[in-house]
Structure 1
Amino acid sequence: MTDSVNRRTAASQKRRRLTAAAAKVLHEQGVERTTLADIAREADVPVGNVYYYFKTKDELVRAALSEHSAHLDELTERLERSPDPLDRLKALVEAWVGRRDDAARHGCPTGTLAVELDKRADGDLDAEAGAVIRRLLDWVAGQFRELGLPDPDGLALTLVAGYQGMSLLANALRDPEVMTREGDRLLRWLDSLRAV
């Protein structure tokens, strides 16, 4: 390998570490409380390197949203391996419940970021966060559509709203069992739709 290829690989890996660190730290601390130094520390890079890859905090927020989008893609690709759309939806709920401790501490990564960004007077980052949630809604609606159920978009909104609500309440109450109980309720609701 040439030195040029090694440098590009190292730079790509460093940018990737910074992006993952941005997603994690922004979720845990929020946009306003997070500094570039916090992200550099999490990524284990010198703070000056952050400025090389990301000129502003908003660029880091965009990178975090990209990371959330990539996680959504990974999750839905994994769920698509199941031949039954109802099983996919149930596995989605189980994945949400599996992150109950994190939700109780920090809420939904994309949902809390969308709410925080909406309160800022400048920029369009809130719309970018909303676009990630819209992708989830569209994927869920596709599963309901595949099941042949009426009003797949409405059913998707109900399911995703249930997730956002249980994440918010688990976080507000600092009680991961909210996710467990409400996740069970969503699973029963999904099972009831098969009977329709």
Structure 2
Amino acid sequence: MTDSRKPRARAVDKRRRLTTEAARVLHEQGVERTTLADIARAADVPVGNVYYYFKTKDELVLAALSEHSAHLDALTGRLDRLPDPRDRLKALIEAWIDQRDVAARHGCPTGTLAVELDKRADGILDTEAGAVIRRLLDWTGQQFRALGLSDPDDLAVTLVSAYQGMSLLTNALRDPDITARQGARLLRWLDSLEAPNQTA
């Protein structure tokens, strides 16, 4: 690596660390309670350097939302390797169940951020948070459509709404077992769904 590329690589690494830690710290503390200094400390970046990469906290929130979107894309990319769409949906639910302890402490990363950002007057960042949730709905709808089920987009809303609801209750009651139980119920619900041409 040439000397001229080393500073560029370090800059990319710092930005990556700031983005990753912004997603984590904002999820754990919320937007209002989080400062740029909190994120800089978590990323091990001098707070003065943060402004080189992100001029405002809102820019860091946008970066965190991009991180959530990237995590979602990575997850659905892995699930897309499964040959059966029902198995993909089941694996999605199992991933939610696996995160039940995190949900108990902090709720759904994107859902909690969307709710908090909706309280703000500008209406820009909450739209971005909604776009991440829309990506999940679209992917989920594609799986129901591949199964040949009626109203695939409504089924996607049912599934994602159930996830958001169980995440909220798991967090509010600090009870990860809620996600485990409701996740198992969703798995049974998926097994019960049949395409119209499969019914007797």
Scaled by the length of structure 2, the TM-score of the pair is 0.96
Q: Which amino acid aligns with 1:112?
A: T
Pairwise CA distance, 1:49:
1.1
Alignment of 1:43-192 (within 5 A): 43-192=43-192
Q: Secondary structure at the match of 1:68?
A: helix
CA offsets 1:1-28 (integer angstroms, 9 cap, x no match) = 2111111111101100000000000000
Q: Secondary structure at the match of 1:174?
A: coil
User: Which residue in 1 is equivalent to 2:14?
Assistant: 14
Q: Distance in 2 between matches of 1:85 and 1:44?
A: 41
- Percent identity of the aligned residues? 78
Q: Distance in 2 between matches of 1:123 and 1:159?
A: 26
Pairwise CA distance, 1:122:
1.9
Q: Distance in 1 between matches of 2:97 and 2:48?
A: 38
User: Which residue in 2 is equivalent to 1:39?
Assistant: 39
CA offsets 1:118-138 (integer angstroms, 9 cap, x no match) = 000124000000000000000
Scaled by the length of structure 1, the TM-score of the pair is 0.98
Q: Distance in 2 between matches of 1:182 and 1:3?
A: 54
Would you say how many aligned residue pairs link Structure 1 and Structure 2? Answer: 196
CA offsets 1:102-159 (integer angstroms, 9 cap, x no match) = 0000000000000000000124000000000000000000000000000000000000
Gaps (5+ residues) in structure 1?
A: none
Pairwise CA distance, 1:32:
0.2
Q: Which amino acid aligns with 1:55?
A: K
Q: Distance in 1 between matches of 2:125 and 2:4?
A: 34
Compute the RMSD of aligned alpha carbons. 0.9
Q: Distance in 1 between matches of 2:14 and 2:3?
A: 16
Q: Distance in 2 between matches of 1:193 and 1:10?
A: 51
Q: Distance in 1 between matches of 2:55 and 2:189?
A: 46
Q: Distance in 2 between matches of 1:8 and 1:187?
A: 47
Q: Which amino acid aligns with 1:117?
A: L
Q: Distance in 2 between matches of 1:117 and 1:24?
A: 16
CA offsets 1:143-186 (integer angstroms, 9 cap, x no match) = 00000000000000000000000000000000000000000000
Gaps (5+ residues) in structure 2?
A: none
Runs of 4+ in 1 over 6 A off after TM superposition: none
CA offsets 1:64-95 (integer angstroms, 9 cap, x no match) = 00000000000000000100000000000000
